[in-house]
């Protein structure tokens, strides 16, 4: 191939002078790239090896541009993933859930997702929390919710969650309970896994018969959902009564709804911190 005038080799002495002048330029390009990519970005390409080959300053600059371009593209992709995660699936909430700013129990609460709401998830999990994406009047928010209360199939309503007779994690609650009360406990514990404390058998009132269960919660919304669940399954579970927040409901007088009760003098005695339920 015929070489153009810009490809003609210069005289040897001139070539040495050009090499001497180009070396500092190559070094400057290497240092510049190192500074530009220092920190948490990708490791820069070491251009110092090109100095030994006497490449021109234009070649070093071109290599540096390519390195910086690739590194910046990678960083942009990483940042985009953090601020704009993609939806990987859609699940349903079984209870009202706090939307947390970070996957932590003490995190700032951004809002709330109601029970039986479909929520977009990103597939990211940290401990007990799942990352979700919610929209409100066009605004897009990334938040974290407790993953245990997300299910694939839409529940018709918290009051109509299916019954389960599988053993619960805390089998000690079943001590001295009748078979009907054990079935009641298992149904509640699987429908409402967020409840962690129960009162079973003890030597007072209905509890002494082994037929009663106290479901410990002061959360009004949660207690209401538990009470509705029990009412909807009263016949299947053979319920005798439900007491919640100084009101009583019984299947035999269900047409009267919830009936008020006289005060017994304390929050616990008036059932403000637990739902009491007994079986026949």
- Of the ranges 4-8, 17-21, 80-84, 146-150, the best mean pLDDT one: 146-150
CB of 231 closer than 8 Å to CB of 242? yes
Domains along the sequence of the chain with CATH? 10-80 (no CATH), 89-151 (2.30.30.40), 158-279 (3.30.1380)
Q: Note the pLDDT of residue 82.
A: 52
Query: What percent of the chain lies above the pLDDT cut of 90?
Result: 51
Q: Work out the pLDDT band at 161, boundaries 50, 70, 90.
A: confident
Q: Note the pLDDT of residue 34.
A: 36
Task: Please write the tens of the pLDDT for every residue from 95-144.
Answer: 778 999 999 989 999 998 887 889 999 999 999 999 999 987 778 889 99
**DSSP class per residue in 126-174:** ETTEEEEEEEETTEEEEEEEEGGGEESSPPS-GGGPPP--SPPS-GGGG
Task: Please write the tens of the pLDDT for every residue from 202-228.
Answer: 999 999 999 999 999 999 889 988 999
Task: Please write the tens of the pLDDT for every residue from 42-79.
Answer: 434 343 443 444 445 555 454 444 444 545 555 554 44
Q: Note the pLDDT of residue 154.
A: 80
What one-character DSSP code corresponds to residue 269? Answer: T
Distance of CA 110 to CAs 123, 192, 249, Å? 20, 23, 36
Is residue 166's pLDDT more than 60? yes
Bridge partners of 133?
A: 120, 142
CA 72 – CA 32 distance, rounded (Å): 15
Spatial CA neighbour of 110 closest among 84, 134, 128, 93: 134
> For 233-237, what is the mean pLDDT?
95
Task: Please write the tens of the pLDDT for every residue from 186-195.
Answer: 999 999 999 9
Spatial CA neighbour of 117 closest among 100, 140, 93, 137: 93
H-assigned helices in the chain: 12-36, 57-83, 179-191, 220-232, 234-237
Angle ∠(146,152,155) on CA atoms, nearest 5? 90
Q: Work out the pLDDT band at 247, boundaries 50, 70, 90.
A: very high
CB of 199 closer than 8 Å to CB of 208? no
């Amino acid at each position: 191939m015929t070489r153009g005038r810009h490809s003609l080799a210069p005289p040897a002495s001139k070539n040495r002078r050009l090499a001497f002048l180009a070396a500092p330029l190559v070094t400057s390009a290497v240092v510049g790239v190192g500074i530009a990519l220092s920190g948490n970005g990708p490791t820069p390409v070491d251009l110092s090896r090109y100095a030994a080959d006497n490449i021109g300053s234009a070649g070093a600059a071109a290599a540096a541009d390519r390195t910086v371009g690739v590194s910046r593209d990678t960083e942009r992709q990483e940042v985009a993933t953090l601020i704009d995660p993609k939806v990987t699936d859609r699940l349903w909430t079984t209870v009202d859930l706090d939307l947390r700013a970070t996957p932590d129990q003490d995190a700032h609460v951004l809002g709330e997702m109601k029970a039986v709401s479909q929520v977009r998830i990103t597939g990211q999990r940290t401990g007990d929390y799942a990352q979700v994406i919610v929209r409100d009047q066009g605004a897009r928010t990334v938040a974290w919710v407790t993953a245990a209360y997300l299910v694939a199939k839409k529940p018709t309503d918290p009051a109509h969650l299916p019954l389960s007779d599988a053993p619960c994690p805390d089998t000690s609650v079943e001590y001295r309970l009748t078979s009907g009360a054990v079935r009641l406990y298992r149904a509640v514990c699987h429908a409402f896994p967020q409840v962690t404390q129960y009162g079973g058998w003890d030597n007072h009132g209905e509890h002494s018969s082994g037929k009663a269960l106290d479901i410990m919660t002061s959360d009004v919304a949660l207690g209401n959902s538990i009470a509705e669940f029990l009412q909807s399954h009263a016949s299947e579970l053979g319920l005798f009564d439900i007491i919640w927040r100084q009101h009583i409901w019984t299947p035999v007088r269900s047409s009267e709804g919830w009936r008020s009760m006289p005060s017994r003098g304390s929050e616990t005695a008036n059932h403000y911190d637990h739902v009491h339920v007994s079986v026949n």
